[in-house]
Structure 1
Amino acid sequence: MAHSHTPAAHGHDPHSHGTMSQLMIGFAMAVVLTAVPFALVMSEVEMSRTLLVGIIMGLGAVQIIVHLVYFLHVNSKAEGGWTLAATVFSVIILVIVLAGSLWVMHNMNVNMMPVHNMDMGGETVGLSPEAPAMQGMDHSAHTGN
């Protein structure tokens, strides 16, 4: 008995995982959707920060949809199409990822900003009064070495 090695003979739909050309289209779109925001940030484009963040987040949302369609094969042909639950779940995940990314970036921006060491009077803030005198001292006298 001859065995057929076609995917259909083993109960698999040959179109359920996409063709190589569909995967390459998805890959190319993902690369472009990554390269464009990277180029915008690295070239320091003259635009408002709010618009730049909006463009980056919008392209990120499009990239998530590209991944869902081209790599996870969530489309109208797979398993009877998008059900209401799958659509709602995808939108919730998209909102969580985008809102969470904005929240993390905002908190990192606030918490990672450099601290200014000078107050309005020009004196160094945070040092004890004897600290300037101790800067020129030999530290071996204090360590016993």
Structure 2
Amino acid sequence: MTRQHLSAQQQSERTSELRSYVIGYALALILTLIPFTVVAFSDLARMTQWLVIGACALIQVVVHFRFFLHVSLAKQKREDLHLILFTTLILVIMVGGTLWIILNLYTRMMPSMLP
């Protein structure tokens, strides 16, 4: 469809969606550049750098959910949010369990190399 054939409502929806994507892209770009800037150009303590990187990562996850996946807290979108949260829980359990096992084996097999 060309712009001439779109109704006023369709044109408004298209403009709103494009605005959402541009805002999401700008926020994602800013939230990516902040950690790079902190690591490359600042003299902050290592732990502060880790906290800034983690905070930007969490905020970026929310930005991606909201602006690119269109997951919000509206009633009709609750099922999508529950699905994403359940998937995240399963991934955290799998990654956490794997790290737990690997670190446990490391401490049992290489106790002399522990820091």
Shorter-chain TM-score above 0.5: yes
1:28 paired residue number: 26
1:46 paired residue number: 43
Instruction: Name structure 1 gaps, 5 residues minimum.
Output: 104-145
Work out the percentage of aligned pairs sharing the same amino acid.
29
Q: Secondary structure at the match of 1:81?
A: helix
Q: Using the alignment, how far apart are the partners of 2:30 and 2:49 within structure 1? A: 17
Aligned pair 1:19/2:51, yes or no? Answer: no
* Residue of structure 1 aligned with 2:77, choices 61, 81, 95: 81
1:13-72 Cα offsets, whole Å, 9 max, x none, are x58xx61111110000000000111111111x1221111101101101110110111001
1:140 paired residue number: none
Greater CA radius of gyration, 1 or 2?
1
Q: Secondary structure at the match of 1:76?
A: coil
Write 1 or 2 for the structure with the bigger share of helix.
Answer: 2
Q: Using the alignment, how far apart are the partners of 1:42 and 1:92 within structure 2? A: 33
Please tell me the root mean square deviation across aligned C-alpha atoms, in Å. 3.3
1:130 paired residue number: none
| Paired residue total | 87
Q: Normalised by the size of structure 1, how large is the TM-score? A: 0.47
Q: Normalised by the size of structure 2, how large is the TM-score? A: 0.58
1:111 paired residue number: none
1:132 paired residue number: none
Q: Using the alignment, how far apart are the partners of 1:55 and 1:95 within structure 2? A: 21
Q: Using the alignment, how far apart are the partners of 2:58 and 2:91 within structure 1? A: 7
Deviation at 1:82, TM superposition (A): 2.1
Instruction: Name structure 2 gaps, 5 residues minimum.
Output: 100-115
Q: Using the alignment, how far apart are the partners of 1:70 and 1:94 within structure 2? A: 23
Kept in 2: contact 1:64–1:94 (CA 8 A): no
Q: Secondary structure at the match of 2:61?
A: helix
Kept in 2: contact 1:76–1:82 (CA 8 A): yes
